[in-house]
Homo-oligomer: A and B are copies of this chain.
Amino acid sequence: MCACGWGRHSDTLLFPMTEFFDTIVRVRYAETDQMGFVYYGNYYVYFEVGRVEYMRHHGVDYKQMELQDDSFIVVAESKCRYIHPARYDDPLRIRTRVAEFKRRTIRFLYEVLHDETRELLATGETVHVVCDSHGKPKTLPEKYRRFFDVQADVQTAAEISAPPAQ
Protein backbone atom coordinates (compact mmCIF):
# COMPACT_ATOMS: atom_id res chain seq x y z
CA MET A 1 0.00 0.00 0.00
CA CYS A 2 1.47 3.32 -0.94
CA ALA A 3 1.13 6.47 1.12
CA CYS A 4 0.63 8.80 -1.81
CA GLY A 5 -3.14 8.94 -1.91
CA TRP A 6 -3.60 6.32 -4.61
CA GLY A 7 -3.77 2.63 -3.90
CA ARG A 8 -4.45 -0.73 -5.46
CA HIS A 9 -7.53 -2.24 -3.97
CA SER A 10 -7.84 -5.22 -6.28
CA ASP A 11 -5.54 -6.47 -8.97
CA THR A 12 -7.16 -4.34 -11.62
CA LEU A 13 -8.38 -1.11 -10.12
CA LEU A 14 -6.59 2.04 -9.11
CA PHE A 15 -8.63 4.47 -7.07
CA PRO A 16 -8.07 7.55 -4.96
CA MET A 17 -7.77 7.47 -1.18
CA THR A 18 -7.18 9.98 1.56
CA GLU A 19 -3.81 10.19 3.27
CA PHE A 20 -3.09 7.96 6.25
CA PHE A 21 -3.56 9.41 9.72
CA ASP A 22 -1.54 7.71 12.45
CA THR A 23 -2.50 6.98 16.06
CA ILE A 24 -0.31 5.29 18.66
CA VAL A 25 -1.72 2.76 21.13
CA ARG A 26 0.17 0.60 23.58
CA VAL A 27 -0.81 -3.06 23.98
CA ARG A 28 -2.50 -3.72 27.32
CA TYR A 29 -2.11 -6.91 29.32
CA ALA A 30 -5.89 -7.34 29.03
CA GLU A 31 -5.52 -7.51 25.24
CA THR A 32 -3.06 -10.41 25.18
CA ASP A 33 -4.03 -14.05 25.32
CA GLN A 34 -2.26 -17.14 26.61
CA MET A 35 -0.29 -17.51 23.39
CA GLY A 36 1.49 -14.32 24.52
CA PHE A 37 0.17 -12.27 21.59
CA VAL A 38 -2.66 -9.80 21.11
CA TYR A 39 -5.94 -11.70 20.78
CA TYR A 40 -7.08 -11.57 17.15
CA GLY A 41 -10.39 -9.87 17.91
CA ASN A 42 -8.66 -6.96 19.65
CA TYR A 43 -7.19 -5.61 16.43
CA TYR A 44 -10.71 -4.45 15.67
CA VAL A 45 -10.62 -2.35 18.83
CA TYR A 46 -7.39 -0.76 17.56
CA PHE A 47 -9.11 -0.11 14.22
CA GLU A 48 -11.89 1.64 16.16
CA VAL A 49 -9.34 3.85 17.92
CA GLY A 50 -7.63 4.62 14.60
CA ARG A 51 -10.96 5.44 12.93
CA VAL A 52 -12.14 7.76 15.70
CA GLU A 53 -8.82 9.61 15.87
CA TYR A 54 -8.80 9.87 12.07
CA MET A 55 -12.20 11.55 12.26
CA ARG A 56 -11.18 13.80 15.16
CA HIS A 57 -8.07 14.87 13.22
CA HIS A 58 -10.29 15.75 10.25
CA GLY A 59 -12.63 17.81 12.39
CA VAL A 60 -15.31 15.20 13.05
CA ASP A 61 -16.27 14.63 16.69
CA TYR A 62 -17.90 11.23 16.40
CA LYS A 63 -19.51 11.48 19.83
CA GLN A 64 -21.33 14.65 18.73
CA MET A 65 -22.20 13.10 15.37
CA GLU A 66 -24.20 10.50 17.30
CA LEU A 67 -25.67 12.86 19.87
CA GLN A 68 -26.43 15.98 17.82
CA ASP A 69 -26.92 14.63 14.32
CA ASP A 70 -28.39 11.20 15.03
CA SER A 71 -25.82 9.69 12.67
CA PHE A 72 -24.16 6.41 13.55
CA ILE A 73 -21.33 4.89 11.54
CA VAL A 74 -22.51 1.27 11.77
CA VAL A 75 -20.08 -1.49 10.76
CA ALA A 76 -21.29 -3.62 7.84
CA GLU A 77 -18.08 -5.54 7.14
CA SER A 78 -14.70 -5.98 8.79
CA LYS A 79 -11.58 -7.90 8.00
CA CYS A 80 -8.03 -8.27 9.18
CA ARG A 81 -4.90 -10.00 7.91
CA TYR A 82 -2.39 -10.91 10.62
CA ILE A 83 1.22 -10.77 9.46
CA HIS A 84 3.34 -10.71 12.63
CA PRO A 85 2.05 -10.95 16.19
CA ALA A 86 1.80 -7.88 18.42
CA ARG A 87 2.91 -8.43 22.00
CA TYR A 88 2.32 -6.98 25.44
CA ASP A 89 3.47 -3.39 25.87
CA ASP A 90 4.28 -2.99 22.16
CA PRO A 91 3.74 0.55 20.94
CA LEU A 92 1.52 0.17 17.87
CA ARG A 93 1.07 2.69 15.09
CA ILE A 94 -2.47 2.46 13.71
CA ARG A 95 -2.49 4.00 10.23
CA THR A 96 -5.99 4.84 9.00
CA ARG A 97 -7.34 6.20 5.75
CA VAL A 98 -10.63 6.47 3.90
CA ALA A 99 -10.60 4.34 0.77
CA GLU A 100 -14.08 5.08 -0.45
CA PHE A 101 -16.88 7.44 0.48
CA LYS A 102 -20.38 7.50 -0.90
CA ARG A 103 -23.38 9.30 0.54
CA ARG A 104 -24.28 6.42 2.83
CA THR A 105 -21.18 4.26 3.05
CA ILE A 106 -17.57 4.74 4.10
CA ARG A 107 -14.70 2.30 3.71
CA PHE A 108 -11.64 2.58 5.95
CA LEU A 109 -8.28 0.88 5.49
CA TYR A 110 -5.83 0.21 8.31
CA GLU A 111 -2.23 -0.76 8.80
CA VAL A 112 -0.84 -1.76 12.19
CA LEU A 113 2.92 -1.30 12.58
CA HIS A 114 5.25 -1.80 15.52
CA ASP A 115 6.08 1.84 16.15
CA GLU A 116 9.76 1.22 16.91
CA THR A 117 10.76 -1.48 14.44
CA ARG A 118 8.24 -0.23 11.82
CA GLU A 119 7.44 -3.85 11.09
CA LEU A 120 4.00 -4.28 9.49
CA LEU A 121 1.97 -6.46 11.86
CA ALA A 122 -1.49 -6.40 10.34
CA THR A 123 -3.71 -4.79 7.73
CA GLY A 124 -7.44 -4.39 7.83
CA GLU A 125 -10.56 -2.89 6.39
CA THR A 126 -14.00 -1.88 7.63
CA VAL A 127 -17.07 -0.86 5.66
CA HIS A 128 -19.66 1.32 7.36
CA VAL A 129 -23.21 2.42 6.67
CA VAL A 130 -24.52 5.71 8.04
CA CYS A 131 -27.66 5.01 10.12
CA ASP A 132 -29.96 6.85 12.50
CA SER A 133 -30.37 5.67 16.09
CA HIS A 134 -33.04 3.18 14.98
CA GLY A 135 -30.59 1.53 12.60
CA LYS A 136 -32.19 2.94 9.45
CA PRO A 137 -29.68 3.92 6.73
CA LYS A 138 -29.49 7.63 6.02
CA THR A 139 -27.37 10.07 4.05
CA LEU A 140 -24.41 11.49 5.98
CA PRO A 141 -25.31 15.07 6.99
CA GLU A 142 -23.91 17.67 4.61
CA LYS A 143 -21.58 19.21 7.20
CA TYR A 144 -19.63 15.97 7.62
CA ARG A 145 -19.28 15.05 3.96
CA ARG A 146 -16.23 17.07 3.08
CA PHE A 147 -14.26 15.37 5.88
CA PHE A 148 -14.55 12.04 4.14
CA ASP A 149 -14.31 13.32 0.60
CA VAL A 150 -11.63 11.27 -1.05
CA GLN A 151 -11.66 13.29 -4.30
CA ALA A 152 -11.01 16.55 -2.44
CA ASP A 153 -8.12 15.00 -0.57
CA VAL A 154 -6.62 13.53 -3.72
CA GLN A 155 -6.97 16.85 -5.48
CA THR A 156 -5.06 18.51 -2.67
CA ALA A 157 -2.43 15.81 -2.84
CA ALA A 158 -2.25 16.26 -6.62
CA GLU A 159 -1.71 19.98 -6.22
CA ILE A 160 1.03 19.42 -3.69
CA SER A 161 2.81 16.80 -5.76
CA ALA A 162 2.32 18.53 -9.11
CA PRO A 163 5.58 19.50 -10.82
CA PRO A 164 6.10 23.27 -10.89
CA ALA A 165 4.67 24.77 -14.12
CA GLN A 166 7.29 26.19 -16.45
- Write the residues of chain A forming the contact surface with B, with a CB cutoff of 8 angstroms: 28-30, 32-37, 39-42, 44-45, 48-49, 52, 62-63, 72, 74-82, 85, 87-89, 126, 135
Q: Is the CB of B44 within 8 A of A29?
A: no
Note all chain B residues with C-beta closer than 8 A to A63.
88-89
Q: Is the CB of A28 within 8 A of B40?
A: no
A80–B44 Cα distance when bound, in Å, is 11
What is the CB-to-nearest-CB distance from A60 to chain B, in angstroms, rounded to a whole number? 12
Q: Is the CB of B77 within 8 A of A80?
A: yes
Q: Is the CB of B39 within 8 A of A30?
A: yes
Tell me which of A29, A48, A82, A87 has the highest count of chain B C-beta atoms within 10 A of its own C-beta. Answer: A29
Note all chain B residues with C-beta closer than 8 A to A49.
28
A79–B79 Cα distance when bound, in Å, is 4
A76–B126 Cα distance when bound, in Å, is 17
What is the CB-to-nearest-CB distance from A117 to chain B, in angstroms, rounded to a whole number? 15
